[in-house]
Amino acid sequence: MSEFKRKFVQDFIDDNRWHFITDGLINTIIITLLALVMGVIIGVIVSIIRCAYDQRDENSKHYFLAFANAICKVYIAVIRGTPALVQLLIMYFIVMVTAESKIVVAVITFGINSGAYVAELFRGGIMSVDKGQLEAGRSLGLSYVQTMKKIILPQAFKASLPALINEFIALLKETSICGYIGLNELTRGGDIIRGTTYDALLPLLTVALIYFVLVMIISYLASLVERRLRKSDNR
């Protein structure tokens, strides 16, 4: 038996150690997708609040809007100013210490983390839309929220899509820190095999290859979406 084959059998076949990789991959995908959905929801809400405050009538008093905007600014500053790993540890050991599911802790942590970055992405996309379109929507009798929903946000989404895809990819790779709370995600799965067999080459290269393939799939799907959006704009 060749040395490579022996190590392959030892790392993945013996004791069904390949389960560490597949189970970790499933957890990584679940955390990434749910956290992204949560992050987009938070990001849209925060970006709308911040843009509404920036576009407010200077002569009118908006105490509630000013308070909400201040909270959003603090939220963004804190999340962007602290490492994701520290946020995860705080969430697991302090905020959600009684939580039974580590996946839930990870999803909430990364969802909140992603929301701060998505908020700034969408805010930039919203501000890139010509202000006259907002005024036109309001002149047609639409409320601010209706104007944002029907006119501004679809255009902001198109403008923010490339950056949003980058955030998706960054979020996928960032989940690799979940091993610090004992959650078996993809990276930890490879590291468990390494710690069991004392062979780092195959397990870690396999993990790196899987991440690479996932990123390539996301990038390919994103390019398809972008092409379809461009075609719809040209019609």
Of 98 and 232, more confident = 98
Mean pLDDT for all residues in the chain: 89
Q: Please state the rounded mean pLDDT for residues 187-205.
A: 93
Lowest mean pLDDT: which of 29-38, 41-50, 150-159, 187-196? Answer: 150-159
- Higher local confidence (pLDDT), 19 or 228: 19
Q: Which residues contact 57 (CB under 8 A, 6 or more apart)?
A: none
> How much is the pLDDT for 108?
97
Q: Stretch 41-63: mean pLDDT, rounded?
A: 82
- pLDDT for 156: 84
Q: Distance between CA 190 and CA 138 in Å, rounded? A: 55
Looking at residues 59-84, what average pLDDT do you find? 90
Spatial CA neighbour of 108 closest among 9, 181, 12: 181
Residue 128's SS3 state is helix
200 DSSP 8-state letter: -
Q: Which residue has the tokens 């040209």?
A: 234
Structure confidence at residue 232 (pLDDT): 67
Where along the chain do its domains lie?
3-234
- Indicate whether 131 pLDDT > 80: no
Alpha carbons 183 and 26: distance in angstroms, whole number: 12
> Which pLDDT belongs to residue 233?
63
Distance, in Å, from the CA atom of 6 to the CA atom of 122, rounded to the nearest integer, reads 51
Q: Which residues contact 218 (CB under 8 A, 6 or more apart)?
A: 165, 168, 169, 172
Distance CA 214, CA 173 (A): 10
| Confidence check: pLDDT of 21 > 90 | yes
171: confidence class by pLDDT, cuts 50, 70, 90: very high
CA distance 130 to 230: 19
* pLDDT confidence of residue 63: 81
Contact 116, 76 (CB under 8 A): yes
Mean local confidence (pLDDT), 22-31: 96
- 154: which residues sit within 8 A by CB, 6+ positions away? none
What value does the mean pLDDT take over residues 196-211? 93
Instruction: For 3-234, give the CATH class.
Output: mainly alpha
Judged against a pLDDT cut of 60, whether residue 1 lies above it is answered with: no
Mean pLDDT calculated for residue range 144-163 = 82
pLDDT over 80 at 213, yes or no: yes
Q: What is the DSSP letter of 188?
A: H
Element (H, E) at 34: helix 18-54
pLDDT over 90, % of the chain: 57
66, 70, 75, 81: CA torsion to nearest 10: 140
pTM comes to: 0.89
Q: What is the pLDDT of residue 60?
A: 66
Nearest to 120 by CA among 51, 172, 166, 170: 51
Query: Phi, psi at residue 87, to the nearest 5°?
Result: -60, -40
Burial class (CB in 10 A: 0-12, 13-18, 19+), 25: middle
Asked whether the predicted pLDDT for residue 147 surpasses 90, the reply is no
